[in-house]
Chains A and B, each alone.
Chain A
Amino acid sequence: MGIGNSGAADRISYYLTNLLLYNATNSATLEIILGLLKLKVLVDTNIALGGADMQVMCEGKLLSNWSRHRVYTGDVLSFAYAQEGQIAYLAIEQGFSCPRIFDSVSVNLREGLGRALMEGDILCGMDSLQRQKIQGCSVTATLRSSVIPHFKQSSITLRYVAGYQEKYFDKQAFNNTQFVISNRYDKMGYCFEGAPIIPARMHFISEGITYGAIQVTHTGTPIVLLNERQTIGGYPKIGTVLPIDCYRLVQYGAGTKVRFQELSFSEAYDFLEPNSLKEIPDFLYRVSMAY
Chain B
Amino acid sequence: MIIHRAGVNAVILYFANSISLRTHRQVLRCYKKLLQIKTVAWISIIPSYTSILIHFDPLYLHEEELIDRLKQICTDSSPSFSEPESHEIKLIPALYDTQVGWDLDRISRQKRLTKEQIIYFHTTTIYHVYAVGFLPGFAYMARVNAHIVLPRLKTPRPFVPAGSIGIADQQTAVYPMRSAGGWNIIGRSPLKFFDAKKSGKPLLQVGMRVRFIAISCEVFKQLGGSLT
Chain A residues engaging chain B, CB cutoff 8 angstroms: 1-3, 5, 100-103, 110-113, 161, 163-164, 205-213, 230-233, 239-240, 242-243, 265, 268-269, 271-272, 274-276, 278
Contacts of B18 in A (CB 8 A): 205
- Candidate in B40, B55, B59, B205 with the most chain A CB atoms within 10 angstroms: B59
Q: Does B49 contact A (CB under 8 A)?
A: yes
Which residues of B (34-66) have their CB < 8 Å from a CB of A? Answer: 40, 43-44, 46-53, 55, 57-60
Q: Does B148 contact A (CB under 8 A)?
A: no
Q: Is the CB of A274 within 8 A of B57?
A: yes
Overall SS of chain B's interface: loop
| Complex alpha-carbon distance, A149 and B83, angstroms | 51
6 A-B pairs, CB-CB below 8 angstroms? A164-B4, A207-B50, A208-B53, A210-B53, A233-B133, A243-B8
Q: How many residues of B contact A (CB 8 A)?
A: 44
Overall SS of chain A's interface: loop
**Which A residue's beta carbon lies closest to that of B17?**
A205
Q: Is the CB of A232 within 8 A of B133?
A: yes
Q: Does B140 contact A (CB under 8 A)?
A: yes
A275 contact from B48, B59, B177, B196, Cβ within 8 A:
B59
A231 contact from B57, B133, B202, Cβ within 8 A:
B133
- Candidate in B12, B51, B135, B136 with the most chain A CB atoms within 10 angstroms: B136
Q: Does B225 contact A (CB under 8 A)?
A: no
**Which A residue's beta carbon lies closest to that of B47?**
A208
Q: Is the CB of A1 within 8 A of B177?
A: no
| Complex alpha-carbon distance, A200 and B98, angstroms | 39
Contacts of A207 in B (CB 8 A): 12, 46, 48-51, 53
Q: Does B137 contact A (CB under 8 A)?
A: yes
